[in-house]
């Protein structure tokens, strides 16, 4: 059970009437990537979340190592994972990847990201917008929270799949969302070295199981692309198969369809914009990537290089410019569970050649490449080039 650290009672003074330059709603991967990008801009930036920074892990916390290095958060890495192993009912295939994954400590990673920003932070539950519709040029946006209304000219929704500041929310199970549940048992003996993925219909009809090694613990879970299918039983079954205790549960929905990255004057980044790849359910790297892109646009407004309206347009186009990659992932998400298991196994074996692995995983990394995080000065102001590329 997670201990709740969020300030309560008298510590929660009213925020009514607060007015800032930038309001970032959500202090996880996307929100903190936006905040980090605004460091030194001179803007008054406020980040709000219903929990303290890093309090509630939202995933298995595995991301490509080059992204963690590029974000300056290597200190949060628990274990580097150079190999992936895919198992079907007909056998296993183990790949040495052209780049490695790393599991990390969520709290530490969030702290490190926040330290790189100069934003203020408050715990508050975001409830929605005060007024609907697009704000007039120069008008601020009012956001309702359980601590009062906060106003800002630039508002980011990085609140995850609920997209609280959007006009139309998603309601599972009737929404393009996948569901995931995992347990985090301690690993007493030698920790496993591979990122394991199970593609077995007896475990989950349309989805996959995983085990992510993370130093002293494993993150064992099952994800279903069919939101109506519950995954608790299969998560427990997988943990028991691995002779691990099903303890420390954590679950959530994750989107598998791209959504508009702006709406009525608000910027959306991460899961709120569907910035999570279908098939793999990988949404941390993309939350960083689009969070950075969003932050750069906000910075251009603060530095008076763009109007808010232009920044909204640029960011919207930048995000939509990636629709092909998201569509390919969604197509594969439909295809892979429909393949006969023997054919799937043969396909996985066919990939097991270094040049094929390099091509396939290279393409995948390129869809949100870590170089994007490393060169803000070169890239600043060149988002249009990226979106049309
Ligand atoms: C079980 C599981 C395992 C996963 N494993 C991986 C993985 O290993 N690697 C990977 O790349 N992806 C993984 N994903 C997907 C990944 O977790 C998401 O894509 C990623 O967390 C998206 O980041 P985000 O910042 O957009 O949103 P989130 O991480 O969901 O953060 C949203 C933030 O908003 C806050 N918030 C929400 N509503 C409110 C509100 N009303 N008021 C105030 N605050 C609010 C939350 O507290 C949270 O801090 C996994 C998903 C699941 C469900």
Substitution site in 160, 232, 285 for ligand 1 pocket (most atoms within 8 Å of beta carbon) = 160
Residue 44 near residue 350, CB atoms below 8 Å: no
- Measured from the CB, is residue 160 less than 6 Å from ligand 1? yes
For ligand 1, what atom is nearest to the CA of residue 126? 42
Substitution site in 28, 180, 255 for ligand 1 pocket (most atoms within 8 Å of beta carbon) = 28
- Measured from the CB, is residue 68 less than 6 Å from ligand 1? no
Give the strand pairing for 126-129 and 141-145: antiparallel
Q: Cα–Cα distance between 290 and 127 in angstroms, integer?
A: 23
Q: Ligand 1, atom 16: nearest CA belongs to which residue?
A: 283
Q: Cα–Cα distance between 356 and 263 in angstroms, integer?
A: 40
Residue 77 near residue 65, CB atoms below 8 Å: yes
pLDDT in tens, 114-173: 999 999 999 999 999 998 889 999 899 999 999 999 999 999 999 999 999 999 878 888
Q: State the pLDDT confidence band at 378, using cuts at 50, 70 and 90.
A: very low
Distances (CA, A) of 73 to 77, 115, 279: 8, 10, 26
- Measured from the CB, is residue 55 less than 6 Å from ligand 1? no
pLDDT in tens, 85-115: 999 999 999 999 999 999 999 999 999 999 9
Distances (CA, A) of 382 to 110, 247, 321, 372, 388: 28, 47, 14, 11, 11
Q: Which pLDDT value is given to residue 191?
A: 62
Token pair of 26, please? 């959500």
- The predicted model gives 184-209 an average pLDDT of 90
Q: Which pLDDT value is given to residue 380?
A: 41
Q: Cα–Cα distance between 161 and 171 in angstroms, integer?
A: 10
Q: State the pLDDT confidence band at 30, using cuts at 50, 70 and 90.
A: very high
Q: Which pLDDT value is given to residue 172?
A: 86
Q: Roughly what angle, to the nearest 10 degrees, separates helices 29-37 and 284-302?
A: 30
- The predicted model gives 236-254 an average pLDDT of 95
Q: Which pLDDT value is given to residue 6?
A: 64
Q: Roughly what angle, to the nearest 10 degrees, separates helices 341-351 and 354-366?
A: 100
Q: Cα–Cα distance between 327 and 320 in angstroms, integer?
A: 11
- Measured from the CB, is residue 35 less than 6 Å from ligand 1? no
For ligand 1, what atom is nearest to the CA of residue 33? 25
Q: Which pLDDT value is given to residue 168?
A: 82
Averaged pLDDT score across all residues of the chain = 92
308 CA to centre of ligand 1 in angstroms: 27
pLDDT in tens, 344-377: 999 999 999 999 999 999 999 999 999 999 865 4
Q: State the pLDDT confidence band at 174, using cuts at 50, 70 and 90.
A: confident
For ligand 1, what atom is nearest to the CA of residue 271? 26
107 CA to centre of ligand 1 in angstroms: 13
- Measured from the CB, is residue 159 less than 6 Å from ligand 1? yes
Q: Cα–Cα distance between 150 and 165 in angstroms, integer?
A: 13
Q: Which pLDDT value is given to residue 387?
A: 35
Residue 288 near residue 271, CB atoms below 8 Å: no
221 CA to centre of ligand 1 in angstroms: 15
Token pair of 278, please? 């279908």
pLDDT surpassing 90 at residue 180:
yes
103 CA to centre of ligand 1 in angstroms: 15
Give the strand pairing for 91-104 and 62-64: antiparallel
pLDDT surpassing 90 at residue 291:
yes
Q: Which pLDDT value is given to residue 10?
A: 62
- Measured from the CB, is residue 271 less than 6 Å from ligand 1? yes
What share of the chain in percent tops pLDDT 70? 93
Q: Which residues pair with 210 in a beta bridge?
A: 197, 221
26 CA to centre of ligand 1 in angstroms: 9
Q: Cα–Cα distance between 371 and 69 in angstroms, integer?
A: 10
pLDDT in tens, 319-341: 999 999 999 999 999 999 999 99
197 CA to centre of ligand 1 in angstroms: 20
Q: Ligand 1, atom 21: nearest CA belongs to which residue?
A: 58
Q: Which pLDDT value is given to residue 12?
A: 79
pLDDT surpassing 80 at residue 7:
no
- Measured from the CB, is residue 50 less than 6 Å from ligand 1? yes
Least confidently predicted of 50-54, 171-175, 312-316: 171-175
Q: Which pLDDT value is given to residue 14?
A: 95
- Measured from the CB, is residue 123 less than 6 Å from ligand 1? no
Q: Which pLDDT value is given to residue 169?
A: 77
Q: Which of 153, 140, 204 is nearest to 21 (CA)?
A: 153
**Dihedral of alpha carbons 138, 29, 252, 83, sign:** positive
pLDDT surpassing 80 at residue 238:
yes
For ligand 1, what atom is nearest to the CA of residue 178? 53
* Buried/exposed 13-38: b ≥16 CB within 10 Å, e otherwise: eebeebebbbbbbbbbbbbbbbbbbb
């Amino acid at each position: 059970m997670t201990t709740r650290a969020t300030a309560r009672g008298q510590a929660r003074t009213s925020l009514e009437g607060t007015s800032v330059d930038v309001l970032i709603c959500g202090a996880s991967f996307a929100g903190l990537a936006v905040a980090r990008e605004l460091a030194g801009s001179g803007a008054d930036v406020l980040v709000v979340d219903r929990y303290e920074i890093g309090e509630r892990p939202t995933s298995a916390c595995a991301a490509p190592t080059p992204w963690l290095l590029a974000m300056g958060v290597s200190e949060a890495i628990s274990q580097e994972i150079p190999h992936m192993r895919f198992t079907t009912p007909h056998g296993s295939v183990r790949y040495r990847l052209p780049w490695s994954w790393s599991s990390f400590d969520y709290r530490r990673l969030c702290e490190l990201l926040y330290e790189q920003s100069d934003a203020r932070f408050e715990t508050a539950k975001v409830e929605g917008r005060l007024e609907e519709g697009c704000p007039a040029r120069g008008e601020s946006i009012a956001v309702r929270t359980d601590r009062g209304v906060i106003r800002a000219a630039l508002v980011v929704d990085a609140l995850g799949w609920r997209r609280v500041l959007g006009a139309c929310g998603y309601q599972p199970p009737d929404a393009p969302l996948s569901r995931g549940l995992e347990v985090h048992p301690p690993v007493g003996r030698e920790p496993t070295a591979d990122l394991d993925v199970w593609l077995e219909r007896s475990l989950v009809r349309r989805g996959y199981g995983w085990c992510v090694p993370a130093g002293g613990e494993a993150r064992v879970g099952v994800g279903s692309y069919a939101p109506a299918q519950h995954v608790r039983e299969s998560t427990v079954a997988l943990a028991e198969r691995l002779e691990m205790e099903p303890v420390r549960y954590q679950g959530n929905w994750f989107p598998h369809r791209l959504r508009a990255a702006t709406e009525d004057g608000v910027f959306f980044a991460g899961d709120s914009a569907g910035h999570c790849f279908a098939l793999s359910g990988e949404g941390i790297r993309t939350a960083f990537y689009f969070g950075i892109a969003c932050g750069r646009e906000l910075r251009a407004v603060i530095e008076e290089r763009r109007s808010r309206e232009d920044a909204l347009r640029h960011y919207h186009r930048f995000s939509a410019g990636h629709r092909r990659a998201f569509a390919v992932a969604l197509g594969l998400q439909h295809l892979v569970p429909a393949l006969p298991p023997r054919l799937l196994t043969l396909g996985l074996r066919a990939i097991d050649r270094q040049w094929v692995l390099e091509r396939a995983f290279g393409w995948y990394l390129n869809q949100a490449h870590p170089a994007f995080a490393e060169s803000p000065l070169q890239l600043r102001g060149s988002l249009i080039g990226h979106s049309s590329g």
